[in-house]
Amino acid sequence: MTPFQTLQGIAAPLDQPNADTDQIAPARFLRRPRQEGYSQFLFHDLRFDEKGGEKAEFVLNRPDFKSAQILIVNRNFGGGSSREQAVWCLVDSGIRCVIGSTFGDIFYNNSINHGLLLIKQDENVCKHLRDQLHASPGASLSIDLPNQSFTGPDGHRYTFSIEESRKKRLLDGLDEIGLTFKYETQMRAFETNFRQKHPWLFRVS
């Protein structure tokens, strides 16, 4: 997992609310092996027409936003299906940070496992940022995770909150499973006790 420290990059505005994970990563692509890459599937049916041609009007197809590393989104981004492939599509396409007012819970949890930083801001802040990006396409945002702040296209500095454990994992690129095994003693003791308390769950049928 790539550690996340600071990032200066082009930001793209995504205006539609409820951009669910079905739209971020359509179902028919989800069984491709992870190592083959998922960038070509990001927003596939919004980006491409039925013949596979790029839809010129879709924001990430516009020349100014093609190399965006940051998305400013509308409410309830990443709701719906638990498919982690939505995160794979984003990170494989070079998106490292998404700023929005609300995110789907499962998507929020999935993002951390692939070094994708999600920043929560009020919807009016997000709208203001999207408006600025529409007015000056190709503008950059600058994100500083250690200091929990970012700077908008107009130079205004915003702060954000993030849980300490998420921040640490992003900064260090740490893997969760390795961390959990440090609790092996507690896990083992818990499991022994749990099996004694719920014997009916473990009878061999």
Q: How far is the CB of 119 from another protein (least distance, A)?
A: 16
Residue 67 φ/ψ, nearest 5 degrees: -100, 25
Does 105 sit near another protein (CB under 8 A)? Answer: yes
Only segment of 52-60, 109-117, 133-141, 144-152 that touches another protein (CB under 8 A): 109-117
Residue 50's SS3 state is coil
Does 75 sit near another protein (CB under 8 A)? Answer: yes
Residues from 151 through 190 that contact another protein (CB under 8 A) = 163-165, 176-177, 180-181, 183, 186-187, 190
Cα–Cα dist 120/118, whole Å: 7
Q: Taking a C-beta distance cutoff of 8 angstroms, is the pair 61, 87 a contact?
A: no
Residue 48 φ/ψ, nearest 5 degrees: -120, 150
Q: Which is nearer to another protein, 67 or 193 (CB)?
A: 193
Does 130 sit near another protein (CB under 8 A)? Answer: no
Cα–Cα dist 166/109, whole Å: 10
Residues from 4 through 43 that contact another protein (CB under 8 A) = 15-18, 20, 22-23, 26-28, 30-34
Q: Taking a C-beta distance cutoff of 8 angstroms, is the pair 161, 148 a contact?
A: yes
Does 81 sit near another protein (CB under 8 A)? Answer: yes
